[in-house]
Amino acid sequence: MGHGGIRRHLALGITVLTVSGVLALAAPGQAEAADHCAGRKVRTLSFSTGSVRVYKRDGYVCAMTVTKKASGRKAMSVSVQARGNRPVVDRGRYLHHAGPVTVHAGHRCVRISGSVGGGSVNSGWILC
């Protein structure tokens, strides 16, 4: 890994720690998951049992899977992968949505997938 890669990983680590610290100070003793993505919606990937909503802001891509019918907990997942990196995944049994998950993509392509029950979608490489 070159100096540029080390600097990027160091910057990302510092950013994550800073955001974690701010969140811990803002809401001590409370752990609440966000229920939406920041930025503007750039895609909706629909499939038989739900859809994946994709948002973009300042080089970050965020996605969340939403069920078509909220009727009890269902197996759901959402995954976002910037080209050259590992995917960030949220998987579990949820009432309404999985995610949001966010990655820094910069100007790289991303691959997004989501599922609800037996239905699923995979975008292939998009937003290049």
Q: Write down the domain spans for the chain.
A: 1-31, 33-126
Please determine, for residue 19, whether its predicted confidence score (pLDDT) is greater than 90: no
pLDDT score for 8: 60
Residue range 36-54, pLDDT digits in tens:
999 999 999 999 999 999 9
Across 8-29, average pLDDT: 45
pLDDT score for 62: 98
DSSP calls for the chain: --HHHHHHHHHHHHHHHHHHHHHHHHSTT-----SS-SSEEEEEEEETTEEEEEEEETTEEEEEEEESS--S-EEEEEEEEETTS--EEEEEEESSEEEEEEEE-TTS-EEEEEEETTEEEEEEEE--
Q: Percentage of residues in the chain with pLDDT exceeding 90?
A: 70
pTM exceeds 0.85, yes or no: no
Q: What architecture is the 33-126 domain classified under in CATH? A: Sandwich (2.60)
pLDDT score for 70: 84
The pLDDT-based confidence of 21 (bands split at 50, 70, 90) is very low
Q: What is the largest CA-CA distance in the chain?
A: 50
Compute how many other C-beta atoms are within 10 angstroms of the C-beta atom of residue 43: 16
Bigger pLDDT: 5 vs 63: 63
pLDDT score for 14: 53
